[in-house]
Amino acid sequence: MAKTDETLTMLKELTDARAISGNEKEARDVMSKYITPYSDEVYTDNLGSLIAKKVGNENGPKIMVAGHLDEVGFMVTRIDDKGFVYFQTIGGWWSQVMLAQRVTILTSKGDVTGVIGSKPPHILPPEARKKPVEIKDMFVDIGASSKEEAAEFGVRPGDSIVPYFEFTQLKNEKLLLAKAWDNRIGCAIAIEVLKQLQGESHPNVVYGVGTVQEEVGLRGAKTSTNAIEPDIGFGVDVGIAGDTPGISDKDADSKLGEGPQIVLYDASMISHKGLRDFVLDTADKHDLPYQYTSMPGGGTDSGSIHLTANGVPALSITIATRYIHTHAAILHRDDFENTVKLIVEVIKGLDADTVKEITYS
């Protein structure tokens, strides 16, 4: 039971951390706290991505397992004369999930609570009521009466605005509800992989990475991969769940609890065939569940990893997650644990000869 509590505590601390793209310090500090005990060296690149190195065979290939630290949120752009705060989205948001949601503005004077507002429907013409409110017409109400009072609260342009939500175990305790699963679950996978490799021999050097600024263009993956120069790269992230009402199998057929998603294709990368086949063979050998997925409209850090230097064989492994890019998402604990098991077994098999065979397959 202690292991369960420890893992849940880690997942809660990771998701509760407030860290939008460009301001990832809180999440980086949490990841550093949990991954450092299982690492030989921990450092950051110049953009702020966390890199934790664990040596098996110091002359073996370098294997990168990367989740991203940042979550989608907003940034203060201006404050009007009445004290209402206007913002820029950071990462992709769908306007229908935003209104009336509680947010926290992180200021130099501390946290400021607000709520996203807009014109009430009661005063809109009938045609306008039928249309979603555009993001440009939204604002954050922090209870200030003027621009000066908002400044007294500490709010100023450039401040991060973060969705507010508390980590919650649902009645089915395998289902976990939280903000920022995209992509603190990837950071948790990197931590747990290094932890499970403790005391295990592995023929390589493993890098558990928490990248920055994934949601705005896979930016930290570029710099951290450049710093590491890996031979093999894995982007671990969330993926689309297709097990809620209104979604057909042709749209998305992955289900919570049925194993990690092996990404065949996304808008940022065609997965490396040799590496993909090796991962699938490893899963079959160890009787580990998995699902296939493709995402024509999105990408992961693998999109930057595989294009670094003269190329890195890379694969994205994701966890089916409901309601991503909102204040609250749901995933299944078994998928987290099976993803870790799969990556650990894959790493154990990635010796120099195997990596060479994969690269040129």
Q: For residues 147 and 229, state if they share a domain.
A: no
pLDDT tens string 132-186: 899 999 999 999 999 999 999 999 999 999 999 999 999 999 999 999 999 999 9
pTM of the model: 0.96
Residue 311's pLDDT is what?
96
Going by the DSSP 8-state scheme, the letter that residue 122 receives in this structure is G
Do residues 47 and 56 lie in contact, with contact meaning Cβ atoms separated by under 8 Å? Answer: no
Token pair listed for 34: 């949990």
Residue 122's pLDDT is what?
78
Residues paired with residue 238 on neighbouring β-strands, in sequence order = 319
User: Active-site residue 357, yes or no?
Assistant: no
Going by the DSSP 8-state scheme, the letter that residue 305 receives in this structure is H
Residue 215's pLDDT is what?
96
Residue 1's pLDDT is what?
40
Going by the DSSP 8-state scheme, the letter that residue 20 receives in this structure is B
CA nearest to 27, candidates 56, 64, 70? 70
Identify the active-site residue in 13, 24, 214, 215: 214
Stretches where the chain sits below pLDDT 70 are 1-4
d(CA 70, CA 187): 10
Phi first, then psi, for residue 300 (nearest 5°) are -130, 180
Q: How far is CA 10 from the centre of its chain?
A: 15
Do residues 36 and 29 lie in contact, with contact meaning Cβ atoms separated by under 8 Å? Answer: no
Residue 229's pLDDT is what?
98
Residue 4's pLDDT is what?
55
Residue where the block lists tokens 């969330």 = 238
Residue 2's pLDDT is what?
43
- Residue 271 domain boundaries: 2-71+179-359
Do residues 281 and 349 lie in contact, with contact meaning Cβ atoms separated by under 8 Å? Answer: no
45 domain-assigned:
yes
150 domain-assigned:
yes
Q: For residues 350 and 295, state if they share a domain.
A: yes
Residue 128's pLDDT is what?
79
168 domain-assigned:
no
CATH number assigned to the domain comprising residue 221: 3.40.630.10
